[in-house]
Structure 1
Amino acid sequence: MKSGEIARAASQALKALGLSFALALAPQAALAVAPAPAASAPAVTSTADAAAPAADAAAPVAAAAGSYTPLKPIEGVGMPVDGAIGLQQQYSPLGEYGHWMHNVVLLPIITVICVLVLVLLLIVIVRYNRRANPVASKTSHNTLIEVIWTLVPVLILIGIAVPSIDLLAKQFKPAPAKALTIKVTGNQWFWTYGYPDNGDFEVVSNMLNVPGQPTINNGVRDVGSKPWDGPSHLEVDNRMVVPVGEPIRLQITAADVIHSFAVPSLWFKLDAVPGRINEKVLFVEKPGVYYGQCSELCGVKHGYMPIAVEALPRDKYNAWVLTHAGGVIDGQKKPEAAPAAAAPVADATADAAADASEAPAADASAAPAA
């Protein structure tokens, strides 16, 4: 009996000792489990820190994308003026050259010729009529006069031809290799402007409706409803925006019939022919809005497809480009690498989250085993 009681007492003592030992190890196991979430927390924090520069880099682009406001045109600049005579004021180097040739070369010459012919006619009428000269002259020819009236017109034509050929050659000089390219397409009855160097987006340009007159383009607002609107029949909903102070390659075509892209104040006119691309350089010297119209009879609404060219400084032009979906600054690659660069960050975030979620479970399962 005593041996049995001794064995039973020893068994109870061993159980008490084991329980005490387990309670002593419990705080250490809890400490071993606790650091796991703390270790995963810095991984998540570092992922957020890595994503922060990308967000900061995107912030200026987002700010620039919303910074475009259309220019308000200046009265009398880049548009016709009531009662005006002569060419519009020019805002391109070729236009200034052509304006000089018209006013300084051609007009004086044609004026002198007209006055000379008029004076000769009056002399003949007064001196050689039947009453003043009853006996007509029988002179058959005069060598000196014939030489003069042959050589003088030839010299005049040569004098006109030299600057004319020079102006023609400069008008059709190709654009530089890296010049910005804009594609202009004439449609019945609106214009489409494509920007292949800026992400290949397109802008559709329709004439604004005139209040109190029949609607020309459904869904388009009335002229005068925005503070930057220009004259009626010339203002559009979306202008062709170009950078100022640099050559621009315009490639012009048509989708249906022959149109003609003409902006008088920029000395620009080129036909838009279906199935053909005509190319010419546009250069705008000063920021502003310049208006033109289709100059080829193209159908019933030929008079309702105006042209509005808005020239902006390069930084403002870039901001305008970024307002369009997929717009990129010319000379830069499309941001195709951005999603690929973001993928490792997303993967790292997912891995960190997986580690954070799996670590406590593993430690919790390990604790009872201990």
Structure 2
Amino acid sequence: MANHSQFNFQDAASPIMEELIKFHDHALMVALAICSLVLYMLTLTLTGKLTSSTVDAQEIEVIWTILPAAVLIMLALPSLQILYMMDEVNEPILTLKAIGHQWYWTYEYTDLKDLTFDSYMTPTTDLPLGHYRLLEVDHRVVVPTEAPVRVIVTADDVLHSWAVPSLGVKTDAVPGRLNQTSFTASRPGVFYGQCSEICGANHSYMPIVVESVPLACFENWSSMMTP
């Protein structure tokens, strides 16, 4: 989860998030190289060291045509690769349906019989010592570690967005429409997110908590949750 005065991303907890962080670093280095080149040329011009003028320079025209194209390709290829990775849903072990309401989430484990619950934010007055204000919920989403999970996202009233940064997941919840995403939690842990679409007065009070546990623990939890 995010910490006070944090400048970097949250620790990646899924392969998709790891790729997103790598792409961010790659794009940042490309942008830094472009800015350095532009500043260098401006410095030469302002200091009078670049005084030559020419009417026809085919070599320069070729360079400033090919170089931007190469930069765009360097950014487009890894971006498209990640985009297709995020859209792939290959043989999920578990399918979870997340329904956004004002202002809570309903979860349905469609592969398990009668496993449905609402998830509300835990009020500050009821918060146990050491838990996180505005981030804890009364019922967490529990998923098995290292297992592909498909999430079907929709809404009951207005636009919402189901987002968990550590897992690299952010999917809009649209009334009357089913959107899907997937993730694979690469390690056990508790990962926090929030509704990321302004949805009314209490938009800030509908957090998301995903808990990744070993498969045996998940089976025990699901057996206790089903009647």
Q: TM-score range by the shorter chain?
A: over 0.9
The whole-number CA distance in structure 2 between the counterparts of 1:93 and 1:163 is 14
Does the Cα contact within 8 Å between 1:260 and 1:270 map onto a contact in 2? Answer: yes
Query: What letter corresponds to residue 275 of structure 1 in structure 2?
Result: G
Deviation at 1:325, TM superposition (A): 3.5
CA distance in structure 1 between the aligned counterparts of 2:131 and 2:149, rounded to whole angstroms: 24
Cα 1:299/1:172, change in 2 over 3 Å: same
* Structure 2 partner of 1:224: 128
CA distance in 1, matches of 2:128, 2:54: 71
Match of 1:121 among 16, 35, 42: 42
- Quote the Cα distance in structure 2 between the aligned partners of 1:273 and 1:200: 24
Structure 1, unmatched stretches of 5+, are 1-78, 212-221, 327-370
Larger Rg: 1
Taking the aligned partners of 2:60 and 2:75, their CA distance within structure 1 comes to 23
CA RMSD of aligned residues (A): 1.7
Q: How does 1:78-117 map to 2 (within 5 A)?
A: 79-103=1-25, 105-117=26-38
- Do the aligned partners of 1:175 and 1:248 also contact (CA within 8 Å) in 2? no
The structure whose residues are more often strand, as a share, is 2
| Letter matched to residue 205 of structure 1 | S
User: Conserved in 1, the CA contact under 8 Å of 2:94 and 2:150?
Assistant: yes
Contact kept in structure 1, 2:16 and 2:183, CA below 8 Å: no
Secondary structure of 2:9 counterpart = coil
Deviation at 1:128, TM superposition (A): 7.4
Q: Secondary structure at the match of 2:194?
A: strand
Give every structure 1 segment of 4 or more consecutive aligned residues whose post-TM-superposition deviation is greater than 6 Å: none
Alpha-carbon distance between aligned partners in 1 of 2:102 and 2:138, rounded to the nearest angstrom: 16
Asked if structure 2 preserves the Cα contact closer than 8 Å seen for 1:94 and 1:170, the reply is yes
Q: TM-score scaled by structure 2? A: 0.94
What is the count of residue pairs matched by the alignment?
Answer: 227
* 1:296 and 2:218 correspond: no
Paired position in structure 2 for 1:185: 99
**What does 1:160-239 align with in structure 2 at a 5 Å threshold?**
160-176=75-91, 179-211=93-125, 222-224=126-128, 230-239=131-140
The CA deviation at 1:111 is 0.9
Q: Given the two structures, how large is their TM-score scaled by the length of structure 1?
A: 0.59
Distance in 2, matches of 1:123 and 1:282, equals 49
Which residue number in structure 2 is paired with residue 281 of structure 1?
182
Percent same amino acid among aligned pairs?
Answer: 41
| Structure-to-structure mapping, 1:1-370, within 5 angstroms | 79-103=1-25, 105-127=26-48, 139-176=54-91, 179-211=93-125, 222-224=126-128, 230-326=131-227
